[in-house]
Amino acid sequence: MHLPSVLKGHKDKEEEPKDEQKAPSGSAEQSQQPAQEGGDQPLSKSALKKKAKEEEKARLKAEKEAKVAAERKAAADAREQEEANDFAKQFYGKVPLNRSQDRPRRKHDVLVDLPSKVGETVLLRARIQTSRPTAKNCFFLLRQKIDTVQAILSVKPEKVSKPMFKWGSQLGSESIVLVEGVVEKALEEVKSATIGNVEIQITQIHLVAEPEKLYFSLEDASRPEKPGGEDEDKPENEEEEKQDGEDGDKTRNNVLLKTRLDHRILDLRTTTNQAIFKLQAAISDLFREFLNSQGFTEIHSPKLQGAATESGASVFKVSYFKGQAFLAQSPQLAKQMAIAADFERVYEIGPVFRAENSFTHRHLTEFMGLDLEMVIEEHYHEVMELLDQLFLFIFRSLKDKFSKEIETVGTQFPCEEFKWRDGEEGTLKISYSQAVDLLVEDGVDRAEVIDDMDTTNEKRLGRIIKQKYDTDYYIIDKFPLEVRPFYTMPDPNNPKFCNAYDFFIRGEEVLSGGQRIHDPVFLAEQMTKKGVDPESMSGYMEAFKLGCPPHGGGGIGLERVLMLYLKLNNIRRATLFPRDPNRLTP
């Protein structure tokens, strides 16, 4: 924990404003040292001299103190009178608790519009990110979501009074203020602000709300992270050594992930996080926009299930009245049932629950699944190609419409620009067997990857492919049947493989899917082979016994796409309030 450093931007609200005139340092301080210890012994000449000197010192000190006190009193009297006569009284102060007692209907402005309002008076509510008071000016960095701008409070005759200046100067970081001011062109670019070409000359400033305590400063929370997977596959509290800034300056600390997550509300206020979650929302929006244009219908399937199903992955058990229920590990069964119910093309965006006692950089116990399922007319590559088009649409749209957000995140999480193949050659699609060959060529033992690939080899493959094909995005098709769930359609020609694919971003899987078995007899056979009793899933089996068309689909992990696209290195950073086996709050 770095409280001394991280708290340096914060002023306690109980703190009294400091007097401008301070007692000269040095002498007064020295005089507060305890007098040399002595006894009843007669004093020597030098001791007498010393005593006289001390007496003279004490006299001078008392004189000075009296003077200071008199000055203080005069200043206080002046302040009191100044406040009593304060022409600016209405222009500052704490507003009463908003209980909707008034509605003056004043128009509120937003920071992002300021560059077009030079010369105008604006009214806006914002956070004070930092406040830097000098004798004559107080410089605020005001923040709204991913925008910051400089605002200046200066004493001005008939506009800003001294009491107003003093009151404004003591406002702490993360206070919410209602500011009225005039937008002016900045004399020189304000580098600390995202909107650097204008600034606000404050004419009114009121306090709406303020923090009782801060756990770290947003300046510290926004410092650039070291590039690379620094906290990959480490529990959030095992990264103590990694806290130093890149320049080795101990006072410029980054904030630990654990500290951030413990006080996530504060952490989420950084412009980086505001941008990350804008991009998260954008990915879902683009997912829906594309699929709606392709005739898909959004569905909502129940997360409470009567039976623990689907895969060996652990499932959460729920007390359900006198019995029990289970949390859905995916909408897989439900979306296939929707296909049997003639919905033709469906998607769902919803939480997915996995009771895996895992602490890697890419596992959570609850995450958002972007799932889809569709009828196949002839071949499962219809699905794979549609999913590819979906990803390309998302990549293109993010680049076109959200470059500001991507840049904002990039200042804290620097990474190479995301690359994909968008020409006529199209997305790189290779078979699992070809992927194995690439790894073997690179020196991996074939036996190690022939049946399945671990994360390390997946990432190695990602590096090989990046080097060879210059793409961060690719598809691997025709996985070994053995490693896919019971509902996967085997390859028609080679019983070792199946009609299933994974999609990868920067060497990690973000989508898994394939053709499903739609024939109830064949499905029951495959279930039995995989040790699943078809009787235990009678509701699911009925979907196929009622006649079901050939179909396929896939499931995307929203947070994984976001983490890998932005190279955030830990899935917790791509999740509003992450959940893992150790974390259920906030």
Question: Does residue 235 interact with a copy of itself by CB under 8 A?
Answer: no
Q: Quick check: is 516 catalytic?
A: no
CA distances from 566 to 136, 393, 414, 433, 573 (A): 42, 17, 9, 29, 10
Evaluated on CA atoms 170, 174, 179, 182, the torsion sign reads positive
Task: Give the binding range for a copy of itself (CB under 8 A) out of 43-51, 149-157, 315-323, 398-406.
Answer: 315-323
Q: Quick check: is 405 catalytic?
A: no
Question: Does residue 3 interact with a copy of itself by CB under 8 A?
Answer: no
For residues 407 and 566, what is the distance between their CA atoms, to the nearest angstrom?
10
The letter for the amino acid at 113 is D
Q: Closest distance between a copy of itself and the C-beta of residue 150, in Å?
A: 18
Question: Given 127, 143, 269, 560, which residue is catalytic?
Answer: 560
Question: Does residue 535 interact with a copy of itself by CB under 8 A?
Answer: no
Closest CA to 310 of 324, 337, 331: 331
Element (H, E) at 268: none
Q: Would you mind telling me the total number of residues written for the chain in this entry?
A: 586
533, exposed or middle or buried, with CB in 10 Å at 0-12, 13-18, 19+? exposed
Helical H runs in 263-380? 264-267, 271-293, 332-340
Residues of this chain, 342-381, that bind a copy of itself according to CB under 8 A = 342-344, 349-351, 353, 355, 357, 365-366, 368, 375-381
Instruction: Compute, in degrees rounded to 10, the torsion defined by CA atoms 136, 142, 148, 151.
Output: -30
List 305, 408, 427, 569, residue binding a copy of itself (CB under 8 A): 305
Residues of this chain, 204-223, that bind a copy of itself according to CB under 8 A = 208-214
Number of residues that bind a copy of itself (CB under 8 A): 116
The single residue listed with the structure tokens 């990474």 is: 415
Q: Closest distance between a copy of itself and the C-beta of residue 234, in Å?
A: 19
β-strands 176-185, 121-133: how paired? Answer: antiparallel
Q: Quick check: is 518 catalytic?
A: no
Q: Closest distance between a copy of itself and the C-beta of residue 466, in Å?
A: 30
Question: Does residue 73 interact with a copy of itself by CB under 8 A?
Answer: no
Binding mask 103-122 for a copy of itself (x = CB under 8 A): xxxx-x--------------
Q: Quick check: is 460 catalytic?
A: no
Residues of this chain, 18-47, that bind a copy of itself according to CB under 8 A = none
- Structure token digits, residue 349: 């965006």
Question: Does residue 284 interact with a copy of itself by CB under 8 A?
Answer: yes
Question: Does residue 134 interact with a copy of itself by CB under 8 A?
Answer: no
Question: Does residue 306 interact with a copy of itself by CB under 8 A?
Answer: yes
Q: Convert 375-403 into a string of H (helix), E (strand) and C (coil).
A: ECCCCCHHHHHHHHHHHHHHHHHHHHHCH
Question: Is residue 350 within 8 Å of 300, Cβ to Cβ?
Answer: yes
Residues of this chain, 141-180, that bind a copy of itself according to CB under 8 A = 143-145, 174-176
Task: Give the binding range for a copy of itself (CB under 8 A) out of 49-57, 184-192, 241-249, 291-299.
Answer: 291-299
Question: Given 180, 289, 448, 509, which residue is catalytic?
Answer: 509
- Pick 125 or 466: Cβ nearer a copy of itself: 125
Beta bridge partners of 139: 132, 152
Instruction: Compute, in degrees rounded to 10, the torsion defined by CA atoms 438, 442, 446, 448.
Output: -110
For residues 298 and 292, what is the distance between their CA atoms, to the nearest angstrom?
8
Q: Quick check: is 458 catalytic?
A: no
At residue 205, φ and ψ (nearest 5 deg) are: -150, 120
List 6, 114, 190, 325, residue binding a copy of itself (CB under 8 A): 325
Residues of this chain, 404-443, that bind a copy of itself according to CB under 8 A = none
Q: Closest distance between a copy of itself and the C-beta of residue 393, in Å?
A: 17
List 182, 268, 392, 464, residue binding a copy of itself (CB under 8 A): 268
List 202, 299, 374, 571, residue binding a copy of itself (CB under 8 A): 299
Q: Quick check: is 363 catalytic?
A: yes
Task: Give the binding range for a copy of itself (CB under 8 A) out of 25-33, 69-77, 390-398, 545-553.
Answer: 545-553
List 263, 363, 399, 459, residue binding a copy of itself (CB under 8 A): 263
Question: Does residue 264 interact with a copy of itself by CB under 8 A?
Answer: yes
Question: Does residue 320 interact with a copy of itself by CB under 8 A?
Answer: yes
CA distances from 51 to 35, 56, 326 (A): 10, 8, 86
β-strands 508-516, 500-505: how paired? Answer: antiparallel
At residue 433, φ and ψ (nearest 5 deg) are: -65, -40
Q: Quick check: is 79 catalytic?
A: no
Catalytic residue set: 354, 356, 362-363, 509, 512, 560
